[in-house]
Structure 1
Amino acid sequence: MNAPENIIPEMIEGMIGAHPDLLRVSGATGRAVVAVDGPRPGKVGVVVGGGSGHEPAFAGYVGRGLADAAAVGNVFASPSPEQILDAARAADGGAGIIFLYGNYSGDVMNFDMAAEELSASGSPVKSVAVTDDVASAPKERMDERRGIAGDFFVFKIAGAAADRMLPLDEVDRLARHANASTRTMGVALSACSLPQTRKPNFEIPPGEMEIGMGLHGEPGIRRGPLESADSLAEQLVATIIADLGLRRGDEVAVLVNGLGSTSSMELYLLHRRTRQILDEQGIRIARSWVGEYATSLEMAGASITLLRLDDELRVLLEHPCRSVALTVGEVAVAGSLRSAPASAGSGASAEKGSVASDRKELVTDGEITPMIFRQMMRNVGSVIVAEKDWLSELDGVIGDGDHGVTMEIGWIAVGKALDAAPKEETIEVTCKRMAKAFLDAVGASSGPLYATAFLRAGTAVGDRLNLDAAALASWIAAASQGIQDRGRAEPGDKTMVDAWVPAAVAAKAAAQSGASSIEVIEAATTGAKDGMEKTAHIAARRGRSAKLGERSLGHIDPGAASTYLTLRAMAEALRRALA
């Protein structure tokens, strides 16, 4: 690579340059890849998206008969609402939009925020989160399962339905039908590394493999000795057949997918045994694909996906399409809908509010002036950047290893936004500025969570010019509640909430006892530190690490760790400012 910070825009530029007959870029964010011959009047717009690092997913499935546009996020991080909206605007032919993405908390929150804005503007929108990973949750909790290589079939079916000019409700029904009929299970032989860290997300000793790993490099459900292609195929296919309830006489489509560093030779070995197993059980293969369709950077490993077919899914599977990653049959040439005029940016679209603030009488008592507040926020950025490797290492053990990278990107964006803030700007307006900067830069789960936290916190002190101890405690409490509301997490779920809630409780108690502003923020820091340390003794119930269950014990939650760093940095800056 040339530079980690440029890897996504340079990748998009290279992709568009290689396929100008298929793809173009639309929108101010530069992250919406659109089909040249896809969107058109009267057609449901199909928008897919997710983090980069899974190439050819997601932009590789943009083309006639497939997706009309893809929102391209940072590596292993969801696109932001504004990036998703750029894709939706370009795909909008007046018949509504359907969002398709993997079932990860960051994707769900960011696509939900984009859907809320589209709906508010009068555009019909549907969302389908792909849940094909049989290893990530039991069958009775299918809605908790991750989306991995099964995206391939769900995108294909929904794209075909929309290309046949079916209405939005029908495209949505068929996409859900395809999702319910698709199952995947995979194995990793080696970990991947993020461009920014260049370190393995997790370690797999020689001669071992990770069963049921996630597409972002999350550890699997168990680790075992390296096995032969036949033995591995038997385990994966047996699990999928049982979960799908396949019987003799059924018909399926097969995808054997490489994760980035697995040779075609090995993938064909897996397909060989997969076909033998299905033949032995009287299950017919209608069509197979073997190759790299949903990767995980340079991870070595593979996954097997089966789509159970019926009459309507079979027709849609064979419907012609043409994209970088997938071509079926010959597509008809039709005039496309050029991108719609870009509307105003969404900013932090979940919470309405302009960066400008109405002039009003503000409470002026309190030690923390707007200038000191911005110094506190700048120090948070400095500390997060300094500790990014530690945060990513924590995340690599129980997640996908990108938390430090994501937080660094967000806080660098906040720093630039603070540099542009006028000296007279109030703390409330600064919080709105921070929210927009963080959300637009990050996406992922941290983007909506911190954007909502900043917005709620700013609103809570909107009647003040300066903050006193009680107002600072209110700021912390509102930030904590915003994160809880947006993420729908509770204490004990092993998330950042486990640090924010005790921080808010401690800050409130300190303020009520007559403590100073410094004592309030120090109490909050202590509460966050205690909460962070307790997460090591909690089995994860929310987020990507929830799939690990008991395997997450003994490890600090990275979101709780970054919360502690945030409050500690605020305390450090306030002590210096008031010294």
Structure 2
Amino acid sequence: GNYAGDVLNFGAAAERLRGQGIDARLLAVTDDVASAAPDDAGRRRGVAGDLLVFKIAGAAAEAGLDLDAVMAVAERANRATVSFGLAFDGCTLPGQQTPLFTVEKDQVALGLGIHGEPGIASQPLAPAADLARLLLEPLLAERPAGHGGRVAVVLNGLGRTAAEELFVLWHHLDTLLTDHGLTPVAPELGQFVTSLDMEGCSLSLTWLDDELEALWLAPADTPALRRGTVAPPETHRRMTAAPDRVAAVAQGSAASRAAAPCMADMIAEVAKALAGAEAELGRIDAIAGDGDHGQGMARGSAAAAAAARQAVTDGAGAGSVLALAG
């Protein structure tokens, strides 16, 4: 999904793979129509459209397309996918006593991100028929010119929305889709792209062409989505996992080795400070983000401190201590 942390971490993973001679590409899903205007779609967040885009991309890979072709299909699916969501109540991060955000009683929040990022408005809670129109209208506004009307559809619960409620909403959505000349292709209802215990739902559409429809309908066998029958996979060569740290580190000069413990101590002090600030960093982040910045900083700095200590134990010089901590 197109979030700063996702792009940062997956980008770093792609760089590491390319450094090992493995071709790797980055695709950030941008389906959330509430988060940016159509002419600025590259800034949109990725929400439940992730499911549609990744399903289609996975089917393209399974069909044997090469990486360039898979990437082209995935990018086309991303451009063809739109989503809009609403929430009735917020989510609570593990270990926290209060929700990341709250929605006022008898109100519905519109356009929130899946981590609780700010939405665009709130309004009084309405009957299911009105909520169905509320979800669908922003997506209809982005129907491609001349599109034939066949759409992949996902009505997604955010974690704490009962299946019965989703089916009541789908009853109205199905009628609205037909009224607007749209034909749902293998629609999916359920908890797919969730946010812990958030209460709410989102609607996603992919404007299908012949190739995208075939890939959307292709068999799949995953814990969250099963479709058709998937042949047993061939036995693949087991890849040897890279070690978490190098077996031998550069020893460095005597002066460098003497400075290494000081480097490790400095990193440990930073980790200590960030652990102490974890709750406050999370509170600040929750105002405009997903409230996990404190956890990420505490975990990351603790891992860096542990790696630095191990490097000193292994006899590393200052440069190696910093590199391994990094």
| Residues 248 and 281 in structure 1, CA contact (< 8 A), matched pair in contact too | no
Tell me if 1:214 matches 2:116. Answer: no
- The C-alpha deviation readout for 1:403-437, integer Å capped at 9, x for no partner, is 111112122223333443437754433322321xx
- The C-alpha deviation readout for 1:364-391, integer Å capped at 9, x for no partner, is 9xxx965444433322222222221111
Aligned partner of residue 209 in structure 1, secondary structure: strand
Unaligned runs of 5+ in 2: none
Shift of 1:362: 6.0
Among candidates 432, 457, 461, match of residue 323 of structure 2: 432
Determine the structure 2 residue equivalent to 1:58: none
Determine the structure 1 residue equivalent to 2:272: 382
CA distance in 1, matches of 2:20, 2:266: 37
| Residues 202 and 219 in structure 1, CA contact (< 8 A), matched pair in contact too | no
Question: Where do 1:3-402 residues align within 5 Å?
Answer: 102-245=1-144, 249-345=148-244, 356-357=249-250, 359-360=252-253, 370-402=260-292
Cα pair distance change 1:248/1:310, threshold 3 Å: closer
Shift of 1:294: 0.9
CA distance in 2, matches of 1:146, 1:103: 5
CA distance in 1, matches of 2:295, 2:16: 28
| Residues 30 and 45 in structure 2, CA contact (< 8 A), matched pair in contact too | yes
Cα pair distance change 1:114/1:421, threshold 3 Å: closer
CA distance in 2, matches of 1:310, 1:421: 54
Unaligned runs of 5+ in 1: 1-101, 348-353, 436-579
Among candidates 417, 440, 444, match of residue 307 of structure 2: 417
Q: Per chain length, whose mean CA-contact separation is higher, i.e. which structure has more relative contact order (CA < 8 Å, sep 6+)?
A: 2
| Residues 312 and 321 in structure 2, CA contact (< 8 A), matched pair in contact too | no
CA distance in 2, matches of 1:246, 1:288: 23
| Residues 250 and 283 in structure 1, CA contact (< 8 A), matched pair in contact too | yes
CA distance in 2, matches of 1:254, 1:363: 60
Shift of 1:399: 0.7
Q: Partner amino acid for 1:433?
A: L
Cα pair distance change 1:193/1:338, threshold 3 Å: farther
> RMSD value over aligned CA atoms?
2.6
CA distance in 1, matches of 2:65, 2:58: 10
Q: TM-score, normalization: structure 2?
A: 0.90
Determine the structure 2 residue equivalent to 1:99: none
- The C-alpha deviation readout for 1:472-521, integer Å capped at 9, x for no partner, is xxxxxxxxxxxxxxxxxxxxxxxxxxxxxxxxxxxxxxxxxxxxxxxxxx
| Residues 267 and 291 in structure 1, CA contact (< 8 A), matched pair in contact too | yes
Q: TM-score, normalization: structure 1?
A: 0.52
Shift of 1:214: 0.8
- The C-alpha deviation readout for 1:201-243, integer Å capped at 9, x for no partner, is 1122212222111112222122332222222221221101112
Shift of 1:154: 1.0
Q: Partner amino acid for 1:195?
A: P
Aligned partner of residue 189 in structure 1, secondary structure: strand
| Residues 48 and 156 in structure 2, CA contact (< 8 A), matched pair in contact too | yes
Cα pair distance change 1:336/1:175, threshold 3 Å: farther
CA distance in 2, matches of 1:233, 1:411: 45
CA distance in 1, matches of 2:147, 2:265: 68
CA distance in 2, matches of 1:433, 1:332: 43
| Residues 264 and 312 in structure 2, CA contact (< 8 A), matched pair in contact too | no
Shift of 1:247: 6.1
Determine the structure 1 residue equivalent to 2:297: 407
Cα pair distance change 1:345/1:386, threshold 3 Å: closer
Question: Where do 1:543-558 residues align within 5 Å?
Answer: none
**Number of equivalenced pairs:** 325
CA distance in 2, matches of 1:279, 1:165: 35
| Residues 251 and 317 in structure 2, CA contact (< 8 A), matched pair in contact too | no
Shift of 1:186: 0.5
**Identity score, percent:** 36
| Residues 92 and 196 in structure 2, CA contact (< 8 A), matched pair in contact too | yes
Cα pair distance change 1:389/1:419, threshold 3 Å: same
CA distance in 2, matches of 1:380, 1:337: 43
- The C-alpha deviation readout for 1:132-188, integer Å capped at 9, x for no partner, is 111111111111111111111111111111121122221111111111111111111
- The C-alpha deviation readout for 1:508-543, integer Å capped at 9, x for no partner, is xxxxxxxxxxxxxxxxxxxxxxxxxxxxxxxxxxxx
CA distance in 1, matches of 2:181, 2:312: 71
Cα pair distance change 1:210/1:427, threshold 3 Å: farther
| Residues 247 and 281 in structure 1, CA contact (< 8 A), matched pair in contact too | no
CA distance in 2, matches of 1:346, 1:202: 39
Shift of 1:338: 4.2
Shift of 1:195: 0.9
Cα pair distance change 1:229/1:246, threshold 3 Å: farther
Determine the structure 2 residue equivalent to 1:548: none
